[in-house]
A and B are shown apart, each in its own frame.
Chain A
């Protein structure tokens, strides 16, 4: 089985590669369209800023390529946000697999909200094959300032002032806002489940 990790101008790609390695899988980091198209699994990771990431993807026509993929695709963090329709982060039109708006966390007047959310938060309402053997209320590691709202494709929910999509799934597209590659054994299980689809 061939697993491709999409290479673009976003951080954290090495961590995903190492997480795969711990599962005995060799992930190929690539921006080569043929390599990506011919992979059995595609991981679209990322930590970074939406507009510069989209610009990079568009220049290489990777945005259209990703939207057209038929094999299982896993978006992680910024990767998940870029799979949505639009992001408030510098008013960015995204890939649009998921018909959702990505918004910035806003601090309520009465207390100080720390942005970005950094740390371990629990995920609930799990209903996806991604979460097989992952207990309800498991803790995952999140680092983000923007979130995808709840929608028809939401398959896990997290609360940080409001409830938002911790994970999405539609057809062959899977996406998580947290970092499974950094979320200890439950995170590793999610990656394993994705590889075993």
Chain B
């Protein structure tokens, strides 16, 4: 039986792991390769690396980092952050990334999703959406949550899936950094209506939150960062807890 996935997320800047609390106040939380390998050995099912470096050397630096990760980590990993061109994707996949995630660039140019899916296959194209609930609905935000759009998250997710996105990584900005739990409503809406896996992100604070998002919202995977980086929740204990609650997980 296919299991629910636990995915630690590592934000990367200039080759180091950082984590923004509510997308601000960045703190250093270690070396990405060591941390990634540690999570893999603890039973993480996948890893996500989000690069927030904004320099001209970015593409080269990131490709080198991806190669180092691919050499050392024996579970699948996704790389995202500022990916806007087919050539970016080509370089990252050639360097050993299993999947890439696109966000703002795909929203601004939805044809990018079609192109990437055709060129590399849907299975390696993850669409990341940052969303905030306001005025009665969930809206798409761009540029790391700084720019509001008038597009509803569900509509954009559906369009992207139709265009070939193979997975949706959904981050609720309302929940991110709060440790009050995942956004179950929008996660559930996507997970139960789209025919691709949905990764819930933002708000994990307790092990019970993971049970809720898997059982109630029916998310296919759950992603978290700080609670893992600061060892507030350790993956082996989380998996044991989930198993005890009847959630199908890998050991």
A residues contacting B by CB (< 8 A) are 11-12, 14-15, 18-19, 21-22, 47-49, 107, 112-122, 139, 141-145, 159-160, 179, 181-185, 187-188
Contact = CB atoms under 8 A, between A and B. Distances in A.
A112 B188 CA distance: 13
Contacts of A15: 70, 96, 98
Interface of B: 1-3, 5, 40, 45, 70-72, 74-76, 93-96, 98, 120-124, 166-167, 192-193, 195-197, 220-221, 250-251
Nearest to A10: B121
Contact of B74 (A47, A49, A185): A185
A141 B1 contact: no
Q: Is the interface of A mostly helix, strand, loop or mixed?
A: mixed
Given A121-B2, A183-B75, A187-B74, 20 more contacts: A11-B120, A22-B74, A112-B193, A114-B195, A114-B197, A116-B122, A117-B2, A118-B123, A118-B166, A118-B167, A119-B3, A119-B45, A119-B197, A120-B5, A121-B1, A141-B76, A144-B123, A159-B1, A160-B2, A184-B40
A189 B195 CA distance: 33
Contacts of B196: 114-115
In the complex, which of the residues B1, B94, B95, B123 has the most CB atoms of chain A within 10 Å of its own CB atom? B123
Contacts of A182: 74-76, 98
A8 to B, nearest CB: 14
B96 to A, nearest CB: 4
